[in-house]
Amino acid sequence: YSAVYSVESHALNIEVLFFSSIHSGSRSSKTFKPKKNIPEGSHQYELLKHAEATLGSGNLRMAVMLPEGEDLNEWVAVNTVDFFNQINMLYGTITDFCTEESCPVMSAGPKYEYHWADGTNIKKPIKCSAPKYIDYLMTWVQDQLDDETLFPSKIGVPFPKNFMSVAKTILKRLFRVYAHIYHQHFDPVIQLQEEAHLNTSFKHFIFFVQEFNLIDRRELAPLQELIEKLTSKDR
């Protein structure tokens, strides 16, 4: 991770630029899956704009906090959609380097290997290449985000009782894409000058899941050292 920490001084400025580039669609040609849009004019769209604005406040820990008077489920939903879009874009930039040949298993370093199961189409975990695993994963996340019974976009439609459990599973699995990129593809990330985007996106992600205790610490183990480095200055 030698180059991972070199961008801290201007991370927040880049975070805001990063947000803007995603929401304007200027980087959409590099996304791995189609971008998930939050309907303009909806309350969730207003929440997304609030999140975007507070990222420029100079304090990422403050930026992830639940806005006063807002519903926790809705805040988690909006941010989960946004992290899907961010990771979608980041992985899209390195797909040429993540192939069946280069990544025959989905791993995050030598100690961590992930097998895919979604509980419905694939019930028993299967060993597969990283690009296949990430394709399964991102398609599965898309399906959850598009399900109006899980992620209602209309005002007044309640979130299901199991919403937080579903969101936690989505975020846990999205973390694995970050972990794979950092462990297996950080050199091309540097070559593409994407490390600042990756670091600030991941730092935002970690602050968010820490704020609401959304991912078990054991799941974060593949990047624990990096997490300590990225967050030590903001305690």
Residue 148, Cβ neighbours under 10 Å: how many? 10
Q: Tell me how far apart the alpha carbons of residues 230 and 128 are, in angstroms, rounded to a whole number.
A: 31
Q: Tell me how far apart the alpha carbons of residues 65 and 43 are, in angstroms, rounded to a whole number.
A: 17
128 is in an annotated binding site: no
Record the tokens describing residue 3, joined without a space.
């180059």
Q: Tell me how far apart the alpha carbons of residues 134 and 120 are, in angstroms, rounded to a whole number.
A: 17
**Could you write out the DSSP letters of every residue in 43-86?**
HHHHHHHHHHHHGGGS-HHHHTSPPTT--HHHHHHHHHHHHHHH
Query: For residue 107, what is the enclosing H or E element?
Result: strand 106-107
Residue 16, Cβ neighbours under 10 Å: how many? 16
180 is in an annotated binding site: yes
Spell out the long-range contacts of 224-227 with Cβ–Cβ below 8 A and sequence spacing 24 or more.
225/1, 226/1, 226/4, 226/182, 226/202
Task: Provide the annotated binding site.
Answer: 98, 103, 180, 185
Q: Which residues are annotated as a binding site for Zn(2+)?
A: 98, 103, 180, 185
